[in-house]
Amino acid sequence: LNLVVLISGGGSNLKALLEATQSTDLPARIVAVGADREAEGFAHAAAAGIPTFTVPLGEHPDRVSWGDALVEAIRAHEPDLVVLSGFMRLLPPNAVRALAPHLVNTHPAYLPEFPGAHAVRDAIAAGATSSGASVIVVDDGVDSGPILAQERVAVRPDDDEAALHDRIKTVERRLLEQVVRDIAEGTLDLEKVSTP
Ligand code: GRF
């Protein structure tokens, strides 16, 4: 299964997925890594000889044009699946339409709890005693697509955002690897997952 992974920052989840494709029997390979900026996480791709590409929002007059350019850059690598893992932009509807349902996202909360860009901070601020990690099919909404996998992660009283996020990421990585494996092995068919 050929994957294109989109990131925005450090790409620690990308690194974990990359290692899984290299060191386990996971029948998938990352063919390119993209971002909306020169992401620090590109270093993980470069170390593995995987091409990277950037499609900065600022280089486009509007989000639709940016979305089209992003889809074009992704399609150049002919992926079977696009994985958003730490990609901090919302894809415009034209981009979702072009890529879905072969488009999944990892989110550091137990959706539908705490959607959006600050899930871990929001869980702590809300005094939640548990949060979680989720892998979903991306739709036009904000972290609102069909849930493919999710698992609870306890919030500890002394947790700060970094500590809780690190614990959640450990679960995210395992769930993402399992979803990629299920899709690669044919036990999960994204065409059959109903998007509302
Ligand atoms: C992950 O928790 C991801 O779900 C969220 O941002 C984090 C990215 O971390 N959107 P990293 O860039 O993979 O380290």
Counting atoms of ligand 1 from 1, which one is nearest the CA of 117? 10
CA of residue 191 to ligand 1 center, whole Å: 26
CA of residue 153 to ligand 1 center, whole Å: 15
Tell me what ipTM this predicted complex has.
0.94
pLDDT tens over the chain, length 196 residues: 999 999 999 999 999 999 999 988 999 999 999 999 999 999 999 999 999 999 999 999 999 999 999 999 999 999 999 999 999 999 999 999 999 999 999 999 999 999 999 999 999 999 999 999 999 999 999 999 999 999 999 999 999 999 999 999 999 999 999 999 999 999 999 999 976 5
Q: b or e along 86-118 (b: 16 or more beta carbons within 10 Å of the residue's beta carbon)? A: bbebbbbebbbebbbbbbbbbbbbbbebbbeee
> Of 77, 107, 118, 165, which one is the catalytic site residue?
107
- Specify the pLDDT at position 195: 61
**Residue 118 corresponds to which tokens in the numbers above?**
């600050």
- Convert the pLDDT of each residue in 97-133 to its tens digit: 999 999 999 999 999 999 999 999 999 999 999 999 9
Counting atoms of ligand 1 from 1, which one is nearest the CA of 88? 10
